[in-house]
Amino acid sequence: MRISVVTIFPEMFDALKCCGVFRRALESGIIDFMVFNLRDFTDDRHHVVDDYPFGGGPGMVMKVEPFYNFMDWYKSKFSSNPFVILTTPQGKRFNSDVARQLAEKEELVFLCGRYEGVDERVVNMVDEELSIGDYVLSGGELAAMVMIEALSRFVPGVLGDEDSSRDSFYNELLDHSHYTRPREFRGMKVPDVLLKGDHEKIRLFRHMERIKRTILRRPDLFLKRDLNLEDKKAIIQLVRLLAEGKKVEEME
């Protein structure tokens, strides 16, 4: 998969490239990631990317020409049909489902705004306007990084399939708890069931935790889920424990 970004602050993306899962995806060649400086696509000597707003008002607006120049150049060089995303607080809300859909595209281009945003005519050349939440950032770079990190986890080969399917939000459930050594720390114990090696029970325990957490923390998600047999067994077990006055961690 190829992911490209155009921004006036390309150096911000060093933070994304440097580390962890995304860095490994780049090194293994699963993701081809390129960052372009919008100023390289200006027509004037001073590489100006912003101008005063027509109609007056505070702040500056990002000019339309550099974005079109960039896309013309990009399409001539790489592909005639990338999926183009404009980062904007006014866009559709990015979430795990959107991340998974984007991960299926072969080629993505993210446009990062700054100042008061981009000239409205830029919108005519984008496929989707996306927001990472109901707040305003000073630029689209962090938003693009959030989206790129999240979607790359769904690109085949970046994580194991099983790993990505166990994460929160996959199939409308939150993830279960996680523990590592020591078995006891300051009186806090790892649940017994995780220490006994009964994989069937561990699977049930973890599924009960997913269900319980989702119901308590995100009932909106749980209501969207079509219950399967595994869910029903976990719910039966949860109700039994509840009736005995026990917690999930006390499952034997």
Residues that bind ligand SAM (CB under 6 A): 87-90, 112-114, 116-118, 131-133, 135-140, 143
Q: Which is nearer to ligand SAM, 35 or 173 (CB)?
A: 35
Confirm whether 11 is a catalytic residue.
no
Give the active site residue among 50, 51, 65, 116: 116
Confirm whether 89 is a catalytic residue.
yes
Shortest Å, Cβ 125 to ligand SAM: 15
Confirm whether 39 is a catalytic residue.
no
- HSE-CB for 113 with a 13 A CA cutoff: 27
Shortest Å, Cβ 45 to ligand SAM: 25
Shortest Å, Cβ 139 to ligand SAM: 5
Any residues with CB less than 8 A from the CB of 99 and at least 6 apart, and which?
147, 150, 151, 153, 154
Q: Which is nearer to ligand SAM, 31 or 144 (CB)?
A: 144
Give the active site residue among 149, 167, 175, 192: 167
Q: What tokens were used for 251?
A: 């499952």
Confirm whether 120 is a catalytic residue.
no
Sign of CA dihedral 47, 53, 59, 64: negative
Give the active site residue among 10, 82, 114, 153: 153
Give the active site residue among 89, 128, 218, 249: 89
Shortest Å, Cβ 116 to ligand SAM: 5
d(CA 38, CA 48): 9
Q: Which is nearer to ligand SAM, 114 or 206 (CB)?
A: 114
Q: Which is nearer to ligand SAM, 57 or 197 (CB)?
A: 57
Shortest Å, Cβ 105 to ligand SAM: 18
Q: Which is nearer to ligand SAM, 146 or 215 (CB)?
A: 146
Point out the residues that are catalytic. Answer: 89, 116, 153, 167
